[in-house]
Structure 1
């Protein structure tokens, strides 16, 4: 309740404020040195002439040219910096309905004697949220409470994003989201993606892009796209940054990062190194109530599961750009991750009869050790065809994932009088190997006045080998367990092509795209000496159109309407097609489903933008064959497997607001009001349910004198439903304080997450055959952390490319047991 009171108080305060007039227009020009040669990579900032509030940033291209779009009505100052040159500050620039496109004369920067970076003190504030025509962009460093956390923590408090207890990520209530890293897929299942993001320190992140209706350039996979962009240094010379963190909850954890960059006239070298040490626990309590066919109580199981995890992850990114000419650049990027993990799970299950009389007690201990490794290489080429903006890019990717898992479970069953009835051990060896080949070619260029045409082709091939070897050990005698031993081979080839066109007029703007994807998949379950093998083949082709239309209601662009549509596909995770069972505990198993079909989604969106303060969207989604986790009852055992629900609809209102009433206070708010509908068969049951849900998130930032700043984040989400699962309301409050030190080259940030320890996940499972179930999950979520950041370097003007590779959807669908 404390969190809810705080939310209401802050919300009332935020609603009283207004800010400045916006308009979608631009400032363009070219930057030269005193010898009239272009300066690439010059840093550009547009700030308010009165309040110095940051409006836009950018860099000049290889020809020294720049264009800063989507500016609002008002007076601005343009600031241009390049190390080795004196700073340039323009006279006030006015943008209004009569002066909407400002083209400046050539700007000449004079050389200075300073060569060493002494730290840049920027008084302009970087906004947390930036709304674009097809995405919401979040600036990670704008939040103090992001310091010392992981990429998964950053996502969990992004507007409209929620992370479930098993690591599944949803956006505006929709699961099956495609998560990209610098435009590349992770090829991982939801749980393994969560583990991957836990290994990525927040200090290595730059932006989060949330796309409910991505353009045709992106793979059609996923019900939406979240693109995580890591930091990209763009300046010539040698420089870097370091972030060191120590955090304490019940157990310690640490998230550290080092970024390095060196560039001369022909070569750009860069490296990102991260370490994530994670010690945590999850306590889960489960109650299952079984009934007879006439509804009378049959039995009851009360389970207490205590899970402790220890993981140490190191991730590495090394790259080189070679500038063949001012228009052509070749590059290579190496990525790698090594994450050893151990877990200890203690489970106690008390079994009662229909009269709630104790029948037996089952105790189990699982000890697992896993080594998750992946490496990848990307070769890329970027060529600017001419100075008008035509360019072509080529990407080739090779990625290899490998996981070695070994687990031992000790199981004991006692009678009600505590005498041992039986005991046995189960041993599991769980190797996984995934190989990904991907390549794409993209073209982009202007068409006429205010138009742009994009086109591209892509092909990917994924090969997976997932084995599970189980053994039972009774009285020190070990025998194979053929009920669970299996090997599943799967390969998939996706070939795609797309066209996209957009054009801007005085008040109207539109964008339309079409993507074609063909999928060929083959699965082979090898079986064993007791289980026969099986196989399947899928071959299907689909079209995915996208369209965007916007209109300015007034010449100043203060009020803008938008309309968009998109069609998408959500393919099953690779291992979700494996039909064999995976042992979790004596009463819980998971399994795949070889009959899973792709989910198709149609997304409609109507939006209204009032200045920079309010972005409101009416959304409607309709899915066919929605993929979701289901629970099947087999006696007193629950089997979790993904299945298709015939129809899923989501409709409602989304609101995002960014308010800056004073120089020292900024408030960002997100509200959602959504209705979820599910209709179709689930196992032997039928579901026809609707549930309304609402949520609010408030980010409040305070800036003080002498480099001090503070922040308070609060969120609340009402009860939600996803298929058979109903989740109880959740709330959370984070806070942090920051002080700039070392002449503004460094900072210290102290943050506390989940102050009131209220992030408890509870709920129930419905639509079971003859049972009901509830669960409660408590994790190590209250954390206090101290983070030190420091920037260093010696710079010269230059640029570094912001590069995306060819892999855009396949990675997220890999599923392992690590």
Structure 2
């Protein structure tokens, strides 16, 4: 291990030595409650001449750099929506006041939606771009999922799948906490978050070293507002929509309260989702026999979420936080399938009935300590996390055919539990010459217990099927270290980091004794560069590189064989290896708004689900290591304003994606385009129109056709702007559907599913508050990537 640590130290030392000191002014902006203020605009003048400008970061810090040494008289101006403008003249080097500048609240501030157009929607940084939700049209009566759908460069599918630039799927974080849910559950959860509570969204296509190396796609980090009302602050929201013949309804309530240095917060949400899906599946097997089916699926789902938090400030520099999050899911689904099978000259018909009942719960408790070392943003953060999840699921299957020998009745009981314990420490040091050093370590322990109990109904009784049953225990231990260095030299921002991760895994199949032990180490460098070509015009160029990995999910490693019906089987794969990817991109930003980016990604041992025929007219779905995949493309962002009160945000992505497994390969060039129109009709309503098109694309050995959706929304403020009513019409042309085609080694599969996507609904939100402003404490969690692999 010594050589690895030496390499880490040499890289960071070399990077630091290459960075030259510049003429810099640093400072910090806070409010009257000593809370840091992000995105404040800081401008330096000499007489009437503009010298330089900057925006404060998340910690309220700012850095003003010039190529010339400071001397003489200057004027500093600081402005931020909702606060009075601060102006002060001074003589260099009399700069002591910069260490802490306090902005006072402006009681005459206009509504956020009214003034949002004065600030850019997207702010570019060296390693990410930030969508400024709080100061834009996005803050107007949307859910969290709506905000993502309307954000530049983000695509959201009908089932809640979220992607950025091309085919890159992402991990979603909310206030540093990875959301460990399935795509559909995550989509429903995001719908309960009010856009009025969202401060900004960070889109990180290539995450730097301070983030775990896991995740081949990017990270979307949703950051909720920190500034709220002192005393008591609460809000409620409700929503109802008609999904074909079935309803969807839900409600959310949140409350925060502060007593001096003590902060209390809580929230509760409930969703009831009923719907009917239609699916068809057509298969041609290598022996030319044909299978056709049509399934009517009835869903009845209830979800509840709880949040309780307490935070205590100890003096001005220390904070202790404790938070508990809990979710419960109650899912009932029934399936009725008509079957037609042609094995040669015969015709076999049948009908199958199946049901799925699932109860799942998850609870996470986080203890967090933060020491703010100085006013420039230096801090030490220690996080202890414990998460436990459990699921019980019962699948019943019953089929009857005109050939009685094919009849079957069986059931699968699939309970599982997961325990995650993690400890993490992060240290940040901000130097006066605009140099930031970060270092940290993390240790996590994961235990997963999966069981499949297969029973067949034979001779009027349930009989245990040992061949279809399985009990698998998986343990994983991760030890991680990282360090990074960020430096600004005039108009140039450089950032370099290195992350080291050691993984120990052990799997054991209890009945058979089949198992594995693995031990692997990886180094994950990251480098970022951004150069401002013209600061006044907002023109900049950027370049970055990262190495990432993706570990197999807990479920995928389980050596089970789970039969869903007479023709479909899901198989685990204990031989799965982690995948590794190299990602590089180069981009240019014009006038702070228009952006173009070229990117390339190469991944080895790609983990993807492969569908193939296993004989006896059964199709097996199994996660496999594809040999490699390659993706390259270009993404564009082009916002503009055709008229006063009318804003248009356009996103475009063109890419080529290819997969190879052994002697099989598949590739396609695809594109996505999204146009979002927001019309502000003052004192009447806001109108949002969203058009989203995705051309046909490939995924593993599947080909997916085009997707198009067109939505219209109408929003009006009521009750003295504390309430909002929103009417929405989704998928007006009813064009959203799920469809894929597979042609692999003589087997052709055509799958189609239609959800009730053309819906009409209404939502209402109301916020009430008393008192002064305070900072709503945020709880950081450390077991991020592990939770994301729990699954559903």
Q: TM-score, normalised by structure 2?
A: 0.86
Structure 2 counterpart of 1:601: 581
Instruction: Check the 8 A contact 1:551/1:560 in 2, yes or no.
Output: yes
Provide, for residues 604-645 of structure 1, a one-character-per-residue CA deviation record: whole Å limited to 9, x for no partner: 101111112211110000000111110121121100011011
- Select which of 513, 517, 527 maps to 2:501: 517
Does the C-alpha gap of structure 1 residues 108 and 289 become closer, same or farther in structure 2, counting only changes over 3 Å? closer
Unaligned runs of 5+ in 2: 1-23, 44-52, 66-75, 90-94
**Counterpart Cα distance in 1 of 2:690 and 2:751:** 27
- Select which of 123, 134, 141 maps to 2:114: 123
Bigger Cα displacement from structure 2, 305-314 vs 421-430: 421-430
Structure 1 counterpart of 2:4: none
Superposition deviation, residue 711 in structure 1: 0.7
Does the C-alpha gap of structure 1 residues 476 and 501 become closer, same or farther in structure 2, counting only changes over 3 Å? same
- Secondary structure class of the residue paired with 1:615: strand
- Secondary structure class of the residue paired with 1:645: strand
| Mapped pair 1:784 → 2:779 | no
Structure 2 counterpart of 1:619: 599
Does the C-alpha gap of structure 1 residues 672 and 122 become closer, same or farther in structure 2, counting only changes over 3 Å? closer
Bigger Cα displacement from structure 2, 599-608 vs 748-757: 748-757
- The 5 A counterparts of 1:309-458 are 309-354=299-344, 359-415=347-403, 420-458=404-442
- Secondary structure class of the residue paired with 2:375: coil
- Secondary structure class of the residue paired with 1:484: strand
Superposition deviation, residue 794 in structure 1: 0.7
| Mapped pair 1:806 → 2:782 | yes
- The 5 A counterparts of 1:487-498 are 487-498=471-482
Superposition deviation, residue 706 in structure 1: 0.8
**Counterpart Cα distance in 2 of 1:454 and 1:438:** 20
- Secondary structure class of the residue paired with 2:592: coil
Superposition deviation, residue 770 in structure 1: 2.4
Does the C-alpha gap of structure 1 residues 324 and 255 become closer, same or farther in structure 2, counting only changes over 3 Å? same
Instruction: Check the 8 A contact 1:615/1:655 in 2, yes or no.
Output: yes
Superposition deviation, residue 476 in structure 1: 2.0
- The 5 A counterparts of 1:37-186 are 39-40=34-35, 67=62, 78-79=79-80, 81=82, 88-89=84-85, 123-125=114-116, 129-138=122-131, 151=145, 155=148, 158-162=151-155, 169-174=162-167, 177-186=170-179
Does the C-alpha gap of structure 1 residues 264 and 43 become closer, same or farther in structure 2, counting only changes over 3 Å? farther
Structure 2 counterpart of 1:687: 664
Does the C-alpha gap of structure 1 residues 110 and 164 become closer, same or farther in structure 2, counting only changes over 3 Å? closer
Provide, for residues 735-765 of structure 1, a one-character-per-residue CA deviation record: whole Å limited to 9, x for no partner: 1111111111111111111111101222310
Structure 2 counterpart of 1:195: 185
Structure 1 counterpart of 2:279: 284
**Counterpart Cα distance in 2 of 1:167 and 1:745:** 29
**Counterpart Cα distance in 2 of 1:283 and 1:150:** 28
Structure 1 counterpart of 2:71: none
Does the C-alpha gap of structure 1 residues 155 and 557 become closer, same or farther in structure 2, counting only changes over 3 Å? closer
**Counterpart Cα distance in 2 of 1:77 and 1:266:** 28
Does the C-alpha gap of structure 1 residues 125 and 164 become closer, same or farther in structure 2, counting only changes over 3 Å? closer
| Mapped pair 1:708 → 2:680 | no
**Counterpart Cα distance in 2 of 1:60 and 1:572:** 33
Instruction: Check the 8 A contact 1:572/1:596 in 2, yes or no.
Output: yes
**Counterpart Cα distance in 1 of 2:620 and 2:459:** 29
Provide, for residues 249-286 of structure 1, a one-character-per-residue CA deviation record: whole Å limited to 9, x for no partner: 21211242222111122101111222222112322111
Does the C-alpha gap of structure 1 residues 39 and 662 become closer, same or farther in structure 2, counting only changes over 3 Å? farther
Structure 2 counterpart of 1:796: 772
Instruction: Check the 8 A contact 1:39/1:60 in 2, yes or no.
Output: no
Structure 1 counterpart of 2:750: 774
Does the C-alpha gap of structure 1 residues 479 and 156 become closer, same or farther in structure 2, counting only changes over 3 Å? farther
Structure 2 counterpart of 1:652: 633
Bigger Cα displacement from structure 2, 319-328 vs 652-661: 652-661
- Select which of 625, 639, 659 maps to 1:678: 659
Superposition deviation, residue 182 in structure 1: 2.5
Provide, for residues 574-629 of structure 1, a one-character-per-residue CA deviation record: whole Å limited to 9, x for no partner: 11011211121110111111111100000010111111221111000000011111
Instruction: Check the 8 A contact 2:63/2:434 in 1, yes or no.
Output: no
Structure 2 counterpart of 1:541: 521
**Counterpart Cα distance in 2 of 1:158 and 1:111:** 29
**Counterpart Cα distance in 2 of 1:157 and 1:342:** 32
**Counterpart Cα distance in 2 of 1:797 and 1:111:** 9
**Counterpart Cα distance in 2 of 1:353 and 1:279:** 37
Structure 2 counterpart of 1:98: none
Superposition deviation, residue 104 in structure 1: 7.3
Structure 2 counterpart of 1:242: 236
Unaligned runs of 5+ in 1: 1-24, 49-54, 82-86, 94-100, 293-297
- Secondary structure class of the residue paired with 1:460: strand
Structure 1 counterpart of 2:544: 564
**Counterpart Cα distance in 2 of 1:602 and 1:515:** 14
- Secondary structure class of the residue paired with 2:733: coil
Structure 2 counterpart of 1:3: none
| Mapped pair 1:668 → 2:663 | no
**Counterpart Cα distance in 2 of 1:146 and 1:371:** 35
Structure 2 counterpart of 1:52: none
Superposition deviation, residue 787 in structure 1: 1.1
| Mapped pair 1:220 → 2:208 | no
**Counterpart Cα distance in 1 of 2:273 and 2:233:** 29
Bigger relative contact order, structure 1 or 2 (CA pairs below 8 A, ≥6 apart): 1
Bigger Cα displacement from structure 2, 577-586 vs 135-144: 135-144
**Counterpart Cα distance in 1 of 2:524 and 2:173:** 19
**Counterpart Cα distance in 2 of 1:111 and 1:466:** 54
Instruction: Check the 8 A contact 2:174/2:224 in 1, yes or no.
Output: no
Does the C-alpha gap of structure 1 residues 167 and 664 become closer, same or farther in structure 2, counting only changes over 3 Å? closer
**Counterpart Cα distance in 1 of 2:648 and 2:291:** 47
**Counterpart Cα distance in 2 of 1:382 and 1:765:** 52
**Counterpart Cα distance in 2 of 1:729 and 1:32:** 49
Superposition deviation, residue 89 in structure 1: 4.0
Instruction: Check the 8 A contact 1:41/1:800 in 2, yes or no.
Output: no
- Secondary structure class of the residue paired with 2:115: coil
Instruction: Check the 8 A contact 1:625/1:644 in 2, yes or no.
Output: yes
Superposition deviation, residue 179 in structure 1: 3.1
Structure 2 counterpart of 1:15: none
Please give the root-mean-square deviation of Cα atoms over the aligned residues, in Å: 3.3
| Mapped pair 1:640 → 2:621 | yes
| Mapped pair 1:755 → 2:732 | yes
- Select which of 563, 575, 580 maps to 1:583: 563
Instruction: Check the 8 A contact 2:173/2:221 in 1, yes or no.
Output: yes
Does the C-alpha gap of structure 1 residues 671 and 632 become closer, same or farther in structure 2, counting only changes over 3 Å? same
Superposition deviation, residue 199 in structure 1: 3.6
- Secondary structure class of the residue paired with 2:466: coil
Superposition deviation, residue 147 in structure 1: 5.3
Instruction: Check the 8 A contact 1:47/1:78 in 2, yes or no.
Output: yes
